[in-house]
Structure 1
Amino acid sequence: MSGDTLAIEVSDLTKTYPNGVRAVNGVTFSVPSGTVFGLLGPNGAGKSTTIKVLTTLTRPDSGTARVAGFDVLSDAAQVRRHIGCVAQNSGVDPAATGRENLVLQGQLYGLGGGALRARVDGLLERFGLTEVAGRLVKTYSGGMRRKLDVAMGLVQEPRVLFLDEPTTGLDPEARAELWKEITGMAASGITVVLTTHYLEEADELADTLAILDEGKVVAYGTPESLKKALHGDSVQILLNEPPEEAAVRTALSNVVGAHDVVVHGREVGARVDAGADSAPALLSALEGAGLRVASVTLSAPTLDEVYLRHAGRTFRSVQEGHIR
């Protein structure tokens, strides 16, 4: 992690829409320069509105935000000159070539001549797109198109790059390649703000992260520190048949050291103070209630459990539409 200075400073940010929905409610966090920052949360948590404020696309009702050293309200033009944005939905022109897309992006930022040609050539090489630079983007694979999206966000050499769900829909190989690029960007001094629904992606890439829920920051820190704060172990139990949630909770209610029980289909998750000692008691309690166990797995705490602890429900349950 690098950066003695802060690339982003957000203090007590609020935003309420005309329909009365307070999308952002007192959000505060900071991001050191040259790091990857993960902004996590399900749909409706306030991520998109926070990013819109930081990229000058919407004005907050109150609070302050500075990006690359500039205030998003009083220095909005300077903020826009120093950031790059890669939206979840591709912004490239499929009827143009990869090179043409990059050249046009550079021209929009006032670049031209030999400097722009050199910049485009460098980005094509960096992302492994040189051989397909003359092909129409509509012939690109999903991974190639996503690389071009990210390259376009880097044309103007931003100090801060916003990546919205950068690996959605990519195959594992393409995702791993993009992860490598994101890590390389931070190493080169670019601050990356990553919004993602993939908790393992945030765990792998983020130096620090904030988890949003209902417009508030419910957890903030490094992935490792947030997981360590939970203590104990995670137990994942797969039952032979989907159980009644009430039956599971009743069966486990008297198991000492077991808490944060979650039932999802055939899966039962719980946190235990001492996995090796508590797991047999959990299995015995379930079997005693007539709930047949197919398998059991012990592991270290996960970010999903961090979310459960701070938001009162799992990230997955929210994503699947059980909660707004």
Structure 2
Amino acid sequence: MRTALVIGTGLIGTSAALALAGRGVTVHLRDHDPASARTAAALGAGTDTEPEGPVDLAIVAVPPAHTAAALAAAMRASAARGYLDVASVKGGPQRQLEAMGLDLTAYIGTHPMSGKERSGPLAAGADLFEGRPWVLTPTRTTDTEVLNLALELVAVCGAVPVVMDADAHDRAVALVSHTPQLVSSMVAARLEEAEESAVRLCGQGIRDVTRIAASDPRMWIEILSANPGPVADVLAGVAADLDETVRALRSLQSADEEKRRDGATGVEDVLRRGNAGRARVPGKHGTAPAAYETVVVLIGDRPGELARIFADAGRAGINVEDVRIEHATGRQAGLVQLMVEPAAAPALAAALRDRGWSLRTG
């Protein structure tokens, strides 16, 4: 691939453009808002000038509601040898293109499973897709050359290609992406009118659950409007679990011992099923999640503290597999949770104590 046209210079489009430009591909940037394309160009994502002729690959990175129209316009203008989109839903745009009577041999649907709470070109980065799945949904007629162009883009972006059927993809993202967004927002909405004394008790659990609730509602309305059925199906299952759990909790309030036992059983059931589901979430490098040991360190809110911890762990020959930070409300301090292989935990704890760190039981 030597030339590309990115249509839509938001987070995803600009990030892909940055990765391509970093590999020497000549990238042309186009957006309905010229200022956005100029900003992306200023960041080094390419040029906001129009290409003189067809490019190798056109990447359509616009909201799902506009994806098919943008693809159709580019295809009718013979803008490229191959066309792909990065919309978060795949079945709808594909059916729209088919209904328009377009030749889809030069088209492939794709969806990089990566993003941020922030949007726009200023939030973009060439490393946004590193190690993340990038779904490819070829049609029955997609040309091999176009598939290869898509695979080249995925490789340049450092992502992992996953081939799926378009409708199977939409059902999958309803479960692993779209429903979590709504559930996170619903939990966060409980905080809006909460007493200040309750909000001040917020710990890492509520921060984890509500992190993605900070996402742009306008963007999510567009996404959910393009995939409402599968999301509603998943939410119906969640609602059934909620109803059962509410009944079980009410039973725990009963004076009747048998009802309390039934209530405890009902709550335990949903917790255990949650354990089983969580165990299926891929861990590091896409493998089954490992059982890491956690070493918890008290850290001051000062420049360089995190770097010191990692340097001390490195000097001890310990590889930190994962890390989390829990901030202390109202204090210039926090707790850093260092996840390591179980056999390495005692050595890491001893090394950090020797270097003056204060450890907490994790």
TM-score by length of 2: 0.29
TM-score by length of 1: 0.32
Query: Rg bigger for which structure?
Result: 2
**Structure with a larger share of its residues in helix:** 2
Bigger relative contact order, structure 1 or 2, given CA contacts below 8 A and separation 6+? Answer: 1
**Structure with a larger share of its residues in strand:** 1
